[in-house]
Amino acid sequence: MAKARFKANTKSIGEMLRSRKMQQEMVERARLLVSYAQAAAPHDSGEYAESFEIDSGQSDSPIQMGTGDRAWAKVRNDSPAAAPLEFGNRRIGEGRRILGQAIDQVSRE
C-alpha cells in the first residue's frame, strides 16, 4: 500500500489564517463565548455581565501563541468583579470560572 504524503503550502495556510472569513469566524466564536458568559454571570448589579468586550484584528497574535500574522478575536471584561468571579479571593471564596466554563462550551461546538 502506498504511503500518503502531505506537503503543507505555508503561503496558502497563511492566507487562510489572515482571511476575512477567518476573522469573521473568530469574532463569531467570541460572541458565542460572551453570550454563554453573560448567561452564567451574576445579575445582582448587572455590571459584570455588561462589561464584556470583543477586540479583533488581523495582526500578530495578541496572546503570543506562535509567530506570524493571523486573524484573531479576544474577549475581555474590565469589571472590578471579573478576576474575583473567575479565580476567587478571600472574600468570595472559590472562583466561579465563568469565562473558563464558557470557553469549554464553545470548544464543544
At 10-67, the pLDDT tens digits run 888 888 888 889 999 999 999 999 999 999 999 888 899 999 999 988 775 555 544 5
- For residue 20, give Cα distances in angstroms to 6, 9, 12, 16: 26, 19, 14, 9
Q: Which helix (H) or strand (E) holds 63?
A: none
Torsion angles phi and psi, residue 73, rounded to 5: -140, 145
Confidence of residue 82 (pLDDT cuts 50, 70, 90): very high
Number of domains, the chain: 1
Range of the domain at 15: 11-108
Torsion angles phi and psi, residue 7, rounded to 5: -120, 115
Residue 5 falls inside a structural domain: no
pLDDT of 1 over the 90 cut: no
> CA angle 94-80-99, nearest 5°?
55
Residue 71 falls inside a structural domain: yes
Torsion angles phi and psi, residue 92, rounded to 5: -100, -10
- The predicted model scores a pTM of 0.78
Residue 96 falls inside a structural domain: yes
